[in-house]
Amino acid sequence: MNAKRLSERLACVASFVKPGSVLADIGSDHAYLPCWLIQNSRIDKAVAGEVVRGPYESAKRNVAKEGLGDRITVRLADGLQAIMPEDGVDTVTIAGMGGTLIASILEAGAGRLADVNRLILQPNVHAKAIREWGAANGWRLIGEAILKEDRKLYEVLAMERGHAAYSPEEMLMGPFLMNERTEPFLEKWQGEAAEISRVLDRLSSSAQSPEASEKHRQLSETKELIERVLTD
């Protein structure tokens, strides 16, 4: 993968970016996503934010190499602090991290989202944390995707401002994804149910502390919920 050829995962994130958006890509690392979006005439300008110096330097190098220094501002900053009011950012992408970290970045920087109307988030795990954050903070899902690349399954969530209520099943598995029931979706949740079964077996065979019993109860509930959706 490079700025000329995106991974399928980042191409899926890119597919949710509206043409003409002003983008902030947070945790941009190499800045491949903003470079690709500009070089393919989807957007005109972007901010690439990175909190770690190594990836920040790598983003700066790539942006310079691609001759995009006047279109992409690379900032060394924690989370949404990379966004300045004068940037006019209306779309934020955060990809390649855990869902809990993505939700905590959004929570910590909520004040920087004043002009933002679309969030495109690609958690490697725990997408539920993002759906929960969105529902509690006035963001509703407008689309979701799931794909498999290099034997890993990835989810992409797109949200806009608004309110929506989700069932426990939808929070965990995604309302759009549940509806579409693609191959990667079925594979992901069959795998999750099998993993929960293994943990339940281990818990059942060990001495039962109150914490272990509670964990057993919660996991059994989650497994039943997943199996209900899979057999629907």
Among 48, 95, 157, 171, binds ligand SAM (CB under 6 A): 95
How far apart, in whole angstroms, are the C-alpha atoms of residue 77 and residue 59?
A: 13
* Cβ-contact 135, 116 below 8 angstroms: no
Per CB under 6 A, does 184 bind ligand SAM?
no
Least Cβ distance, residue 32 to ligand SAM (angstroms): 7
Measured CA distances, 76 to 5, 29, 39, 117 (Å) = 25, 11, 23, 23
Per CB under 6 A, does 105 bind ligand SAM?
yes
Measured CA distances, 115 to 71, 122, 206 (Å) = 19, 21, 52
Per CB under 6 A, does 79 bind ligand SAM?
yes
Per CB under 6 A, does 51 bind ligand SAM?
yes
- What is the β-pairing status of strands 91-97 and 72-76? unpaired
Among 96, 98, 138, 175, binds ligand SAM (CB under 6 A): 96
- Listed ranges 49-57, 63-71, 138-146, 204-212: which one lies at the site for ligand SAM (CB under 6 A): 49-57
Per CB under 6 A, does 63 bind ligand SAM?
no
Per CB under 6 A, does 27 bind ligand SAM?
yes
